[in-house]
Amino acid sequence: MGLWAEWRAQRERSRRASTYLVQLLRTPEPVDVAWLRSIGVSDAVALRELTFAKRAIGLIAAERDALDDRTASDVAHQLAPVISREAREGVDIGREWGERWRAYTAALAMRGSTEAPTTRLARVLLTGAGLGDPIPEQLLRATQFVVSTRGAANLALRDVFGVATLPDDIRPSALRG
């Protein structure tokens, strides 16, 4: 690929990552904020933790489910200026995002756990909201949030980056070229 074609391909990937990021940056649904508020979490903390969860789950989906291995880094590259701007507005936001991102990735990387990965991600959400030992109903509701957020992220990935299509008469391994 020539320099010009490579530059255009990079610009297209950046444009798509930016479009996908719009999904991750949407304000959490009022019903989700109200749910956390109903279990004793302040509005500000509920909004922050749901926002962090949407971003983290969206990055995880881009990392694990995208067609191109570069998608997650393209999305993270587009997200970095947003985090930097927020960190300038509120000193602790950048640090809190970093802590939460590490917690989400650690929860996913955990091996030998009997809990489903979505439940482990839900625990990170609830712990960030100040509920370190949630009751089963709270954990179930948080897991539903994680599942629906992951589904929305996957749908956005498919809408923005496309769907893998393979010919019916050729094995995928034969396409390697």
Model pTM score: 0.86
- Cα distances (angstroms) measured from residue 52 to each of 63, 104, 168: 16, 10, 40
- Angle (CA) 144 146 147, round 5°: 65
What pLDDT digit, counting tens, does each position of 109-129 carry?
998 889 999 999 999 999 999
φ, ψ for residue 164 (rounded to 5)? -70, 130
Over range 81-95, report the average pLDDT.
Answer: 89
What pLDDT digit, counting tens, does each position of 14-24 carry?
898 899 999 99
Separation CA 110–CA 106 (nearest Å): 6
What residue segments make up the domains of the chain, in order of their start?
3-161
